[in-house]
């Protein structure tokens, strides 16, 4: 169960920069927050019919859009979305969406652009961290291969020395 939750959280973190960039682009083109989210969910459903790969972020967004369509107040639905994911970047993002609803577009677009930039930087750091973990896991297999190569080279050399 813990591994499943960890995989879900990694998937949520990996999808965050792409999601924020898409949402920012759609909002800057003139769509409202809800319509932009709805468009992202529709695109996900189209790709889901082709690839059959469920992604936790878009499933959570689908739940959020469904609740708003059924009459839930948008701000409450966005707050609940942040709580359901349980990851700090999504909680921060949901509060950004709520403030965008309450204050309007005055500073919202600038804050959203800042969030896109920071999410890309955080994603870069995350990828570097995952790369260092992968390289650490490869040290033992590399040492085993190195030992095998040494044995393959040294044993014939040793036998050739003992024959002369």
H-assigned helices in the chain? 2-28, 33-51, 56-69, 74-85, 88-103, 108-137, 139-163
Q: What's this model's pTM, rounded to 2 decimal places? A: 0.73
3-state SS class at 104 = coil
pLDDT in the model for residue 80: 92
pLDDT above 90 for 55:
no
pLDDT single digits (tens) 85-134 = 888 888 988 988 888 887 776 677 788 888 888 888 888 888 888 888 87
CB of 16 closer than 8 Å to CB of 82: no
Asked whether 68 and 74 are in contact (CB, 8 A), the reply is yes
Residue 73 has pLDDT above 60, yes or no: yes
The Cα angle at residue 14 between residues 12 and 18, in degrees rounded to 5: 100
Q: In this predicted structure, what is the pLDDT of residue 143? A: 87
Whether the CB-CB separation of 123 and 17 falls below 8 Å is answered with yes
Q: What percent of the chain has pLDDT over 90?
A: 18
């Amino acid at each position: 169960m813990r591994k499943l939750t960890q995989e879900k959280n990694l998937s949520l973190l990996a999808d965050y920069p792409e999601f924020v960039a898409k949402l920012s682009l759609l909002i800057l083109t003139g769509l409202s927050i809800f319509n932009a989210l709805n468009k992202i969910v529709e695109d996900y459903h189209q790709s889901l019919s082709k690839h059959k790969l469920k992604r936790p972020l878009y499933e959570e967004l689908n739940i959020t859009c469904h609740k708003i369509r059924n009459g839930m107040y948008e701000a409450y639905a966005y707050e609940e979305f942040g709580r359901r994911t349980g990851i700090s970047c999504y909680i921060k993002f949901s509060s950004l969406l709520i403030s965008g609803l309450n204050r309007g577009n005055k500073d919202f677009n600038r804050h959203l652009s800042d969030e896109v930039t920071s999410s890309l930087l955080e994603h870069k750091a995350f990828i570097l961290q995952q790369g260092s973990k992968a390289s650490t896991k490869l040290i033992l297999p590399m040492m085993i291969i190195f030992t095998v190569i040494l044995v393959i080279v040294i044993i014939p050399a040793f036998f050739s020395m003992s024959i002369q």
